[in-house]
Amino acid sequence: GDSVTQMEGPVTLSEEAFLTINCTYTATGYPSLFWYVQYPGEGLQLLLKATKADDKGSNKGFEATYRKETTSFHLEKGSVQVSDSAVYFCALRPLYPYNQGGKLIFGQGTELSVKP
């Protein structure tokens, strides 16, 4: 079945460091791919998404490129801030079967801690 695998955390970085969180997936066809962020005690917020191969999603300095050949959607940010400390989830929305109402499959999450 479809699945998402993320690099294990926690990831601890100093402010202004470069961030990469790896995400790979297994799916039939061309799923849509997402990154969600969860701040402590809160629900999930959509960070960025890509719906087809070679698309680049970007938001708030974060970006990720949909790589069909490597089945990856790695999250990157050039310079992290303390306020970026959160848990990041990679997710896919299966293409098949249709009309699932947007069902999402999540990776296990990666906790990011940014120190001043």
The residue ranges that bind another protein (CB under 8 A) are 32, 36, 41-46, 51, 89, 95, 98-109, 111
Q: Where are the alpha helices (DSSP H) in the chain?
A: none
Contact partners, residue 37, CB within 8 Å, separation at least 6:
44, 45, 47, 86, 87, 88, 89
Contact partners, residue 12, CB within 8 Å, separation at least 6:
113, 114, 115
- Neighbouring-strand partners of residue 62: 59, 77
Please name the helix (run of DSSP H) or strand (run of DSSP E) that holds residue 88, with its range, or none: strand 86-93
Minimum distance from CB of 49 to another protein (Å)? 8
Q: Which is nearer to another protein, 40 or 69 (CB)?
A: 40
Minimum distance from CB of 102 to another protein (Å)? 3
Q: Which is nearer to another protein, 43 or 116 (CB)?
A: 43
User: CA 3: distance to chain centroid?
Assistant: 13
Minimum distance from CB of 20 to another protein (Å)? 20
Minimum distance from CB of 34 to another protein (Å)? 9
